Amino acid sequence: MTRLSVLQYPDPRLHTVAEPVQQITPDIRRLVADMTQTMYALDGIGLAATQVDVHLQIIVLDVSEKGNRPQVLINPVIIKIGGKAEFEEGCLSVPDVYESVRRAAWVHVRALDLNGKTIDVQAEGLKAMCIQHEMDHLQGMVFVEHLSPTNQRRVLASLSKQGRRSNAKAIVK
C-alpha cells in the first residue's frame, strides 16, 4: 500500500466532478487500500478519490471510535435526506481549518461496496456529515464553499499566511 498525496485547497483539481466507476478492478481495489491507508495516516475520518487527484466516485470513511471499521462507498447516491444539523468540519485538503457547516441530520445512501454489491447506508450524526462532506468532493466542492464569502476569504488568507496556499487562484463569490 502507498500513502497518497492529498490535494490542498484551493487547488483547482478539487473542483473536478468525479466520474462513476465502471468496473471494480484490481486497480480500484489498490486505490481503495491506498486511500484508506492515507486517511488513517493523516488521522482523517473520510477521504474522497478526488482529494488524491483520481476523479472517480469513491469514498472511504471510518467514524468508529477505535478507527478500525473502514467503509467504502463506490458510486454513492443520496436516496433521501432529512433534518437539519450543524457540524464543525475539517478536511484533509484544508488542514488545520475547522468551520461550522449546516447539513442534513441524516442520510440514506445507496452505493456499491468493494465487491460490487449494492448497499444501502443509513447514517445520522457524524457519519451523515462525513458522507455528505465526501460526496461534496465527488461533485467538485470543498466544505469551505459552504461558508459565506467573507469566511471563505478569511480561510484563504489564513492558508496564505501559513504558506500552504497553492499558486492556483481560488474563486470566491
pLDDT digits (tens, 9 = 90+) for 81-105: 999 999 999 999 999 999 999 999 9
In the chain, the largest separation of any two C-alpha atoms, in whole Å, equals 46
Q: What is residue 85's predicted lDDT score, i.e. its pLDDT?
A: 97
Question: Confidence class of residue 165 from pLDDT cuts 50, 70 and 90?
Answer: very low
Domain membership flag for residue 21: yes
Neighbours of 86 (CB within 10 A): 11
- 126 phi and psi, to 5 degrees? -55, -40
Q: Which of 150, 35, 155, 149 is nearest to 90 (CA)?
A: 155
Q: What is residue 76's predicted lDDT score, i.e. its pLDDT?
A: 98
Question: Confidence class of residue 13 from pLDDT cuts 50, 70 and 90?
Answer: very high
pLDDT more than 70, % of the chain? 94
Q: Which domain holds residue 40?
A: 12-161
pLDDT digits (tens, 9 = 90+) for 123-146: 999 999 999 999 999 999 999 999
Domain membership flag for residue 171: no
Domain membership flag for residue 51: yes
Catalytic residue among 89, 99, 134, 145: 134
CATH number of the domain that residue 116 is part of: 3.90.45.10
Strand partners of residue 56:
19
pLDDT greater than 70 at residue 169: no
Domain membership flag for residue 168: no
Q: What is residue 2's predicted lDDT score, i.e. its pLDDT?
A: 92
pLDDT digits (tens, 9 = 90+) for 38-93: 999 999 999 999 999 999 999 999 999 999 999 999 999 999 999 999 999 999 99
Q: How many domains are there within the chain?
A: 1
Average pLDDT, rounded, for the chain: 93
pTM: 0.91
pLDDT greater than 90 at residue 168: no
Domain membership flag for residue 3: no
Domain membership flag for residue 170: no
Question: Confidence class of residue 111 from pLDDT cuts 50, 70 and 90?
Answer: very high
Domain membership flag for residue 7: no
Domain membership flag for residue 173: no
d(C-alpha 42, C-alpha 6), whole Å: 10
Residue 134 a catalytic site member: yes
